[in-house]
Amino acid sequence: MTTLAPADQWSRCHRVARADGVAAALTELASAVLPGLLPCGPAGHAIAPPAIAAGAPLVWVDGVTVVRAVGVETPLGVVDLPGGAVELLRHRTADGVNGFVPAQRAAWTLGLVWLRLGLSEELRETAMRYLNGRRTGNSTLLQQQMVKSTVADGLIEHLEVRAVLTGVGPGELPDAVLNHLHAQLTTADRALVKLLGASGYLAGGPGQVAHVSELLAEAYCRPEV
């Protein structure tokens, strides 16, 4: 049995995501919620730093309980990102429950939204720094009306997500709301990456971080029925 994360764990995970990237933030969240274990999403997918992926027993987050998984079905690759690489995996499930409680799944899914919010906010800051350093005529790209509007839209999405998350504990938001928050972050990320031009799509760059962030939502969100 694991010890669930304290109330301030979400803000800590959020800060780590902004400062240190995907791998460090996933390590922070996994250590707090499911220490020593590798959580898999509803379809068996897992995204984790190599140290966790290699040495942790597998658990299966199916939206109600966490059950054992057995065997790697498909290693999907390794993505090198600022702050450390992450592995993409898929596993088979096994029958039966191993004693993990639904609260652990709730803690993981809530923490994941906070993690993605941190990544998305850092993407916004990266875009603003880039745009403020690029000039067109007598002003910077950041001063262009369409660009400012896109940045403002991203900020609004971030503020809305933060407002919903603030003061909320694990299990207090239904899956439909969590999925909607993930969708807001994905929308913001896609728009912000475009502001970076070609530099946003370089391997290991901010666009790839945003892509992995989106994969986290797809891997661990419970599909709505």
Q: Among 1.20.140.10, 3.30.420.40, 1.10.3720.10, 1.10.606.20, what is the CATH number of 102-220?
A: 1.20.140.10
Q: What is the pLDDT of residue 125?
A: 96
Q: Stretch 190-200: mean pLDDT, rounded?
A: 91
When pLDDT is averaged across residues 153-175 and rounded to a whole number, the result is 94
Greater confidence, 209 or 54? 209
Average pLDDT over residues 109-126: 96
Least confident of 88-97, 152-161, 191-200: 88-97
Beta carbons of 119 and 113 less than 8 angstroms apart: no
Can you name the residues that pair with 60 across neighbouring β-strands? Answer: 40, 67
56, 47, 203, 207: which is closest to 120 by C-alpha? 207
Q: How confident is the model at residue 99 (pLDDT cuts 50, 70, 90)?
A: very low
- Provide the pLDDT for residue 60: 54
Joined together, the tokens standing for residue 202 give 């370089």
Answer yes or no: is pLDDT of 2 > 90.
no
Q: Do 157 and 187 contact (CB within 8 A), yes or no?
A: yes
pLDDT score of 74:
63
pLDDT at 216 over 60: yes
CA distance 143 to 137: 11
φ, ψ dihedrals at 168, nearest 5°: -95, 135
Identify the band that residue 191 occupies on the pLDDT scale cut at 50, 70 and 90: very high
Q: Are 160 and 184 in contact (CB under 8 A)?
A: yes
Averaged pLDDT of the chain: 84
Over range 160-175, report the average pLDDT. 93
Domain borders along the chain are: 9-93, 102-220
Helix (H) or strand (E) holding 62, with range, is: none
pLDDT given for residue 65 in this prediction: 42
Regarding beta strands 58-61 and 38-40, do their DSSP bridges make them parallel or antiparallel, or are they unpaired? parallel
pLDDT over 90, % of the chain: 50
Is 28 a residue whose pLDDT tops 90? yes
CA distance 66 to 59: 6
Please tell me which of 91-105, 110-124, 133-147 the model is most confident about, judged by mean pLDDT: 110-124
Average pLDDT over residues 176-185: 96
pTM (2 d.p.): 0.88
E strand or H helix at 87? strand 86-93
pLDDT on residue 6: 62
Contact predicate 188/124, CB 8 Å: yes
* pLDDT-based confidence at residue 135 (cuts at 50, 70, 90): confident
Instruction: Summarize the confidence of residues 112-135 as an average pLDDT.
Output: 93
Q: How far apart are CA 49 and CA 70, in angstroms?
A: 19
- DSSP assignment of 33-48 equals HSTT-EEE-TTSEEEE
